[in-house]
Structure 1
Amino acid sequence: MKQTSETTFHPVRRDQLREEREHDTYRQQQKPAEPSACVECGAVFHAGRWQWAGEPPEKAAKVLCPACQRIRDDFPAGFVYVGGPFFAANSEEILALIRHHAQKEGAEHPLARIMGIQEEGRAEDGVLITTTDLHLARDLGDAVHKAYHGELDFHYNEGEQRLRVHWRR
């Protein structure tokens, strides 16, 4: 008697090379020539990473860093919504904390920057902060939550390579 099966078992081979699942337009496919300097912000690509180096070297190739490209295209990687009655009463203090944290992070990581801060209607509706980096958006949400508690939610969309952070109190 012959047995037939509608589905056939195929063992998974783990030795095959697979392409990346995620596609991020702003992720560089290959490293720029060293040294390279961003024509907009002055960040320098040296020793395998982007860094602030003061004056770019004379022989540096002129390129546009991924953060400046995102800013030029107005295509943020992170969205941080901060709002609620507590925010309305303490907005200047909370925004100062956010700016300070972003400045501190940006000193070490040139590609992590705030793109903009815009009000969302009424004072208690809060503000929307856009960032060039997913990690900065998460760090800003964590910093506000650590300082002021409240409700903190993260929504990550793999297909878009974007993070939405919501903090409310």
Structure 2
Amino acid sequence: MNTAPSTRSASQSGQRFEMPGDDDSLAGMLSGTAVCEACGAVHREGHWQWAIAPAGAQAVLCPACRRMEGKQAAGHITIDGGFACEHRDEIIHLIRHIEMHEKAEHPMQRIISCCIDDGRLLIDTTEAQLACAIGEALERTYQGELWLRHVKPGELVRLHWQR
């Protein structure tokens, strides 16, 4: 098993990652339409979406809210380097913009936490796809080096961006 970071960017890998807690794990348990009692996302026709919940919708906790509540990240990003330290606020703004854009269309894509530890910016996401989108945006916007570590499907994806 190769666990060494790869220099392939997330966009080059072309993979989509299915994680425990994604739509499919709850979908089989739902009968009819459901609404998340925490965020208001609606599960209809096999997908979570932002919509008005119809009367009688089953109240549940959506996969993203379950991940946030349990701090169960599907994606982890580490950002460091001199450039990253000097432009931290700008980078955080970009990250929040990516989250807002992705979440508007895909309610399950959210940031669980964003913190600074020992000079590094650490971000945990509810979906691997969001982590990859953030990593790709950092690489596209600021260049630098992006490493992706994805051991096997169904496990946490780790990205490391440095400049």
Higher relative contact order (CA 8 A, sep 6+): 2
Show CA shifts across 1:72-131 (max 9, x none).
111100001111100111111111011001100000000010001010123xxx210000
Matched, 1:57 2:54: yes
TM superposition shift of 1:160: 5.5
Q: Structure 1: 5+ residue runs without aligned partners? A: 1-21
Matched, 1:87 2:81: no
Q: 1:104: which partner in 2?
A: 101
Bigger radius of gyration: 1
Q: 1:26: which partner in 2?
A: 21
Q: 2:126: which partner in 1?
A: 132
TM superposition shift of 1:24: 4.8
1:35 to 33, 36, 59: 33
Q: Structure 2: 5+ residue runs without aligned partners? A: 1-16
Q: Percent identity?
A: 36
Count matched residues: 144
Larger fraction in helix: 2
RMSD (CA atoms): 1.8
CA distance in 1, matches of 2:84, 2:19: 33
Q: Is the 8 A contact 1:31 1:48 kept in 2?
A: no
Q: Is the 8 A contact 1:82 1:167 kept in 2?
A: yes
1:152 to 146, 155, 159: 146
- 4+ aligned runs moved over 3 Å, structure 1: 22-25
- The two structures have a TM-score, normalised by structure 2, of 0.82
1:70 to 67, 74, 87: 67
- The two structures have a TM-score, normalised by structure 1, of 0.80
